[in-house]
Amino acid sequence: MGTPCEYLSGLSPVELASNAEIEKKWLQFYGEMPENLEYHQGSIYDMLYDAIRAYPKCPAMEYFDVTFTYRDLSERIEEVAQALLGLDVVPNESVTICMPNMPEAIFLIYAINKIGAVCNVIHPLSDHDDIVRAVEATNSSLIFTTDVSALKVEGVKARVVVCEVSNSMKKLLRTAYNLKNRKALKYPAGFIRWNDFLRMGVAYGPIIKRTKDDPAVIIYSGGTTGKSKGIVLSNLCFNSLATQCYAVCKEARPGNSILSALPIFHGFGLCVSIHVPLTLGLKCILLPKISVGDLNNTIKKKKPNLLPAIPTMLKAMTNNPSLGPDSLSSVKVILSGGDYLSDDVREKVLEYFRACGSDAHIQVGYGLSEATAFIAATSEAIVETDNLGIPNPDNIIKICDPETNNELAYGQVGEICVNAPTVMMGYLNEPEETADALRTHDDGITYLHTGDLGFIDEAGVLHFTSRLKRMIISNGYNIYPTELENIINKCRYVASSVVVGVKDKVRQEAPKAVIVLQKGVQRTAEVEREIAEFCKRNIAKNAQPSEIEFTDALPTTKIGKVNYREFQEKE
């Protein structure tokens, strides 16, 4: 018998304040998009089931040339739900999923939700200690993993079910995979194999009715600005996001397909690349592993219409040779999120896709896992490109002084704060962290403090400047590393850069730039001199880097963001 997560009962969704008396200049860009939307009042499974009934014969997922219709998806979810009941999973119990993007992981997410339990989704490449912490923090008695991560969960105090990554592949490919990975397919005694797990199913189980306010999923922050925290998201978080995406993205329509390559342990991957398309009648093309070298070929072969990606992924794609004038012609929209997309990278991506036959536009989404990955998006109605766009329907965004919570005037840089139906219930077992992130302001509205710095211009358009914790204070001046990185990256010799603060005898703190040179560029005295001169010409005197260091590559976090903390901690 499992144990319910009693501590989750202390968390509740943030009250929606979309109808509050707040100036919303951004509404001028909405056009036909409504200011307010109606949201599903049930669980994430309930909303998916509506799509199953509407599109039973349509393809829902594709995995290595194997297609599952929405009816197939329903049947598999039911089979997994019965097996979970056979293992005595109870309502509000946390069930841990440590798997990549594969059909069985998707079946599990919705089956767990259907029986009233909570999904605890963790990175399949997490080390043993991280897995232990995630399992213990949620009191999970059951963990699902694959051959890739099986040995890492050995010793975890939970029952382990293992499903090979090859399980849903066609027979020939599955055999080839199993032969190649036969050593990894030997598991410790006591591990339950997937097919044996399915045979444990019970014929009938209780129908657990969940509401929009119940917890659905726990995902974990990337840890780029501190320790990784469990983020508790409600059913409403996911379902409202799906409804907002339908309103914001005109390509998110039944019959289209989406490349679901971003991992499900991250908000952008699970929310935008899986739940949104499945509840809107699209087909998810699942990739268990992002291999940049194979990504272009996958798009050419599978022909997705929507491409969610992070900037580093897009930049890597454009570094590959073109696959032909029609190779990427299926792509209608590139959904960029997860990190800042600079203008130079944007232009490079558009140029590459045009050369490959796609007339896709880039729609930049701004968000964070604490707000189910998506708060605002760029609009074709806004001519300029260097912005984060406008809030989604029902979302309120304002810029505040991070210390006083006081709202700042248009054009002033401060912390981006948001009230939205997608905002988390709170951090798992972190009441102080939750109270710091979710603050009730003088207007009586609770806002998520994002930790991002930005401003809203006179037209009501949102702009990003930097992470709050990355701000460098030099001689009393605020310096935002992201702004310096965007300038330095425009130098013809620079492929990428990261800026961190270092101690300075005169300025107390000064920026230091760590640079990766373009492919084929040799580090010579002349190149170093030209980069230094470029910085002097384009960066204000008070923000000039005190030091420039060169490296072969910038380290990244598990979700693909540049891990600037690794350089900061060396100083």
Report the residue count for the chain.
571
Give me the helix-helix angle, 44-54 and 235-248, nearest 10°.
50
pLDDT score, position 349: 94
Each residue's pLDDT tens digit, 253-277: 999 999 999 999 988 999 999 999 9
Which of 10-24, 189-203, 248-262, 510-524 has the weakest average pLDDT? Answer: 10-24
pLDDT at position 228 over 80: no
Q: How confident is the model at residue 570 (pLDDT cuts 50, 70, 90)?
A: low
543 forms beta bridges with none
pLDDT at position 89 over 60: yes
Please choose, from the candidates 539, 554, 537, the residue with its C-alpha nearest in 3D space to the C-alpha of residue 496. Answer: 554
Query: Tell me, what DSSP letter sits at residue 276?
Result: H
CB neighbour burial string for 228-244, b if at least 16 within 10 angstroms, e if fewer: bbbbbbbbbbbbbbbbb
507 to 110, 473, 487, 535, 570: CA distances (angstroms): 54, 9, 22, 18, 19
The answer to whether the beta carbons of residues 112 and 143 sit under 8 Å apart is: no
For all residues of the chain together, what is the average pLDDT? 90
Range among 12-16, 54-58, 126-130, 227-231 with highest mean pLDDT value: 54-58
273 CB burial (10 A radius; 0-12, 13-18, 19+): buried
Pick the more confident residue, 220 or 107. 107
Which of 4-13, 208-217, 546-555 has the weakest average pLDDT? Answer: 4-13
Give CA–CA dist 86/512, Å, rounded. Answer: 57
Q: To 10 degrees, the CA torsion angle through 442, 443, 448, 451? A: -50
How far, in whole angstroms, is CA 365 from its chain's centroid? 11
Mean pLDDT of 293-305: 91
Which residues, 6+ apart, have CB-to-CB distance to 417 below 8 Å? 397, 398, 399, 400, 405, 439, 441, 447, 448, 449, 450
Please choose, from the candidates 388, 1, 465, 8, the residue with its C-alpha nearest in 3D space to the C-alpha of residue 218. Answer: 8
pLDDT at position 18 over 50: yes
- Label each residue of 464-481 as H, E or C: EEEEHHHCEEECCEEECH
pLDDT score, position 293: 72
Handedness of CA 161, 282, 376, 260 (dihedral sign): positive
One-character DSSP codes across 528-564:
HHHHHHHHHHHS-GGG--SEEEE-S---B-TTS-B-T
This prediction's pTM: 0.84
Mean pLDDT of 67-93: 96
* Dihedral-angle region of residue 545 (phi above 0 means left; psi in -120 to 50 means alpha; beta otherwise): beta
Mean pLDDT of 507-534: 92
pLDDT score, position 476: 55
Each residue's pLDDT tens digit, 431-457: 999 999 999 998 889 999 999 999 999
Each residue's pLDDT tens digit, 545-561: 999 999 999 988 766 67
Give CA–CA dist 98/78, Å, rounded. Answer: 21
The answer to whether the beta carbons of residues 98 and 73 sit under 8 Å apart is: no
Give CA–CA dist 333/314, Å, rounded. Answer: 13
pLDDT score, position 227: 61
pLDDT at position 247 over 50: yes
Which of 12-21, 29-38, 113-122, 143-152 has the weakest average pLDDT? Answer: 12-21
Mean pLDDT of 50-57: 98
Which of 190-194, 263-267, 415-419, 521-525 has the weakest average pLDDT? Answer: 263-267
Task: Give the whole-number percent of the chain exceeding pLDDT 70.
Answer: 95
* Dihedral-angle region of residue 191 (phi above 0 means left; psi in -120 to 50 means alpha; beta otherwise): beta
pLDDT score, position 478: 64
Element (H, E) at 295: helix 292-302
Catalogue all structural domains in the chain, each as residue range(s) with its CATH number: 391-466 (2.30.38.10), 471-568 (3.30.300.30)
Q: How many CB atoms lie within 10 A of CB 433?
A: 16
Q: How confident is the model at residue 225 (pLDDT cuts 50, 70, 90)?
A: very low
pLDDT score, position 569: 60
The residue written with tokens 């990003």 in the block is 464
Please choose, from the candidates 515, 404, 416, 405, the residue with its C-alpha nearest in 3D space to the C-alpha of residue 464. Answer: 416
The residue written with tokens 């032969």 in the block is 179
pLDDT score, position 223: 45
Give CA–CA dist 279/290, Å, rounded. Answer: 24
pLDDT score, position 286: 97
CB neighbour burial string for 360-371, b if at least 16 within 10 angstroms, e if fewer: bebbbbbbbbbb
The residue written with tokens 């709050």 in the block is 468
Q: How confident is the model at residue 112 (pLDDT cuts 50, 70, 90)?
A: very high
Which residues, 6+ apart, have CB-to-CB distance to 530 below 8 Å? 491, 493
pLDDT score, position 315: 85
pLDDT at position 399 over 50: yes
pLDDT score, position 129: 83
504 forms beta bridges with 508
Mean pLDDT of 272-295: 92
pLDDT score, position 226: 44
pLDDT at position 111 over 90: yes
Q: How many CB atoms lie within 10 A of CB 154?
A: 13
Angle 424-427-428 from CA coordinates, rounded to 5°: 125
Give CA–CA dist 15/538, Å, rounded. Answer: 45
Pick the more confident residue, 223 or 200. 200
Give CA–CA dist 351/362, Å, rounded. Answer: 12
Please choose, from the candidates 457, 386, 443, the residue with its C-alpha nearest in 3D space to the C-alpha of residue 26. Answer: 457
Q: How confident is the model at residue 475 (pLDDT cuts 50, 70, 90)?
A: low
First to last CA, the chain: 50
